[in-house]
A = this chain, B = another copy of it.
Amino acid sequence: MAEAESFVPFQGIKNDIKGRLRCYKHDWTSGFRAGFRILAPTTYIFFASAIPVITFGEQLERDTDGKITAVQTLVSTALCGVIHSIIGGQPLLILGVAEPTVIMYTFMFNFAKNRQDLGSNLFLAWTGWVCLWTGLLLFLLAILGACSFINRFTRLAGELFGILIAMLFMQEAIRGIVDEFGVPGRTNPRSAQFQPAWVFANGMFGLVLSFGLLYTALKSRKARSWRFGAEWLRGFIADYGVPVMVVVWTCVSYIPWKSVPQGIPRRLVSPNPWSPGAYQNWTVIKEMLDVPVVYIVLALVPASMIAVLYYFDHSVASQLAQQQDFNLRKPPSFHYDLLLLGFLTILCGLIGIPPSNGVIPQSPMHTKSLATLKHQLLRNKLVAAARKCIRNKATLGEVYGSMEEAYQQMQSPLIHQGPSRGLKQSQMQKGLGSVNADTLVDEAVFDVETEVENVLPVEVKEQRLSNFLQAMLVAGCVAAMPLIKRIPSSVLWGYFAYMAIESLPGNQFWERIVLLFTAPSRRFKVLEDNHAVFVETVPFKTMAMFTLFQTGYLLVCFGITWVPVAGVLFPLMIMFLVPVRQYVLPNFFKGAHLQDLDAAEYEEAPALLSFNLKPEGEVSRATSFADSGEVMDGMFTRSRGEIRRVNSVKLAGSVGGGSTGGSPAGGVELMRRVVSFQNPRVSEKVYIRSLSDYRGGGESSPRSPAGRAPLSPRFAAAGGGGGGEQRLSNLGKSV
């Protein structure tokens, strides 16, 4: 994205429309050609999208005294989703009502309800004006090509925003659970459920339900690596476990129905869309002129904040849904989609519902599920082709040829970007390397399914159907309101906590905070796992300073959201990070360190060395033994797109024999060579220093063998030699 030439007004939008129009027909035909299999990603994203939206509805219902309920949030998500899926530029992007919108609406309600000439009655009319202004600002941004600037928001801003959202989620979860122990307003305090004993019982029941949901949801996400159950079952639990758990815990909440009065536990409060009171929301447009002029002008303040938010959030979601690693073939459409978002915001405002924008993590989740779908389709085709070939007594070379041919047949004719691709050549050469190419193969020795898994590149079924269908399913939720109202509110608080916790892994800011609290003697464990580049290249103290600064900034942002009315300005703090990053931080940190700590793009530099053989060893083992879904999981779960790309370096020649069982110093020496080979910026000294850092001592610790040949054999065997050798032998193999 971010073409340099798009500063001419309308230029970006024009390019986007031109690019997407060329593949518009294919967007639909490709979707229908996938057949019923398209339902898997559709339902997956539907659940991931609907449950948070219902939860936000519950939150808004409480925070706006019932002015906005789950009906409105669902309608907004469905309406914007349908329109975007049909005429939007990027069909991989999922739209929905998001947490920042909820927070802004809460601020606005708290402001409006205390004004005599506005009050809660004119609140929705006023938000209509806010949305109108927001839409106009978004038009401006789209026309001027502001999306070309989005990469000025570095990882620093994106991850700080991510953690801020997680903190707000967690705050809602805690507040919700605490409220379960109190008597809510707007209720009849004389009914049985509000006697002290039952209020206490409701709170305890709520604790059980919310922690039950949280625990089981977190566990079910990891189902793919369970040891029990068939592959399809584990895959099903991993993909649909969270909605299933919402249903399970809702059922659990009915177990003591005989012994408790109605209303224990408390459930979702929302009118049915067809009940009489629900209609008044939709005619807001009639009241918009009743809003005093001063408030119409004042609406520009929240509007500009929301515009900033949407510009940021919508673009980042689009970016993450269309990362390089997904190997997409159709062009992006940042400018045009921002324009469309402006229209959608105005539309939502005029009918009195909160607007939707591109959501994280649902958008990248959508792309990931479509990659799995494409993978399955390709695999079936290639396996069939290879089997047919083997039955006709072919050589290994011929089998690979038939697979390549079948693959090319499956390719769409619309290739807009990137060079022409094929199956993974390196993998096929590896296969050919172990056997004479003229040998006849049979299925008993040539494991077709495993081979196909290995040569298939990552590709995505790019189409509009799944997005359209999931939006229609969300619309169906509005009709299913009587069922949805059976969900206990405490289950939703658990879901809030789940979303907060799930958003943390992969966030480097979070990982650095964790590293700060890691005992010095345990920091070596970080090196054993997959880890970011900065762990190896940036001194611990620098990393700590940077993280402390970011944490301070985060706490200021969080504090601002607590300020009664001025809290509406919190998106400004995120904007303000751009100049801070560009002009202030370079005075305190070295350029190379800043680059590693805060990559401007969400892509990462090639990884250096891992101290263990996990990264490659794991993947290669997984490819042959485990389910493909698990491999995909490993590649795409990191929410903000930090996909590790471990570049295989051609070292086979220099590795050869002689490194096994040799002197331990040999391993370290080899390791240093690899480090300087892969990344000349990292000198031996840096490597040694960072290793001694993570061994527990400081730079001047007497335990650190800096610059000296390590005498203790354990040092080399455990930290250096073992890892280095094993990694090297892996590198040698994978070339």
State the A residues within 8 Å of B (CB): 195-198, 200-201, 204-205, 207-208, 211, 215, 226-231, 234, 256, 259-260, 396, 430-431, 433-435, 441, 443-447, 450-451, 454, 514, 517-519, 521-522, 524-526, 613, 617, 620-621, 623-627, 652, 655-665, 695-696, 702-703, 705, 708-715, 717-719, 721-722, 725-726, 728-730, 732-733
CB distance from A528 to the nearest CB of B (A): 9
**Can you list 16 A-B pairs, Cβ within 8 angstroms, ordered by A?**
A208-B211, A227-B517, A227-B519, A227-B525, A231-B521, A396-B711, A431-B711, A433-B713, A444-B702, A445-B711, A521-B625, A620-B717, A655-B660, A661-B732, A661-B733, A726-B726
Known: A434-B664, A519-B228. A695 touches B625 (CB 8 A): yes
- Least CB distance from A205 to B in Å reads 5
- Among B525, B665, B725, point to the contact of A660 (Cβ < 8 A): B725
The answer on a CB contact under 8 Å between A722 and B617 is yes
- CB distance A227 to B718 under 8 Å? no
Other-chain residue from B433, B518, B665, B729 in contact with A228 (beta carbon distance below 8 A): B518
Q: Which residue of B lies closest to A514 (CB)?
A: B227
Copies of the protein in its oligomer: 2
* Given known A660-B725, A661-B732, contact A624–B451 (CB-CB < 8 A): no
A521 and B626 contact, Cβ closer than 8 Å, known pairs A204-B201, A660-B725, A661-B733: yes
Whether B208 and A660, one on each chain, are in contact in the complex, defined by CB atoms closer than 8 angstroms, is no
Name the 10 nearest CB pairs between A and B, nearest first: A197-B197, A661-B732, A204-B204, A657-B657, A201-B201, A624-B714, A621-B718, A227-B518, A445-B711, A660-B729
What chain B residues lie within 8 Å of A695 (beta carbons)? 625
Q: How far is the CA of A87 from the CA of B204 in the complex (A)?
A: 51
CB distance from A668 to the nearest CB of B (A): 12
A200 touches B260 (CB 8 A): yes
Query: In the assembled complex, how far is the CB of residue A486 from the closest CB belonging to chain B, in whole angstroms?
Result: 20
Do B519 and A620 have beta carbons less than 8 Å apart?
no
- A612 CB, min distance to chain B CBs, angstroms: 9
A694 to chain B: closest residue by CB: B625
Report whether B663 and A434 are in contact in the complex, using a CB–CB cutoff of 8 Å. yes
Q: Could you say which residues of chain B place their CB within 8 Å of the CB of A522?
A: 226-228, 626
- In the bound complex, how far is the Cα of B709 from the Cα of A732, in angstroms? 21
Please give the distance in Å from A60's CB to the nearest CB on chain B.
29
Among B228, B434, B521, B625, contact of A719 (Cβ-Cβ < 8 Å): B625
A657: chain B residues within 8 A (beta carbon):
657-662
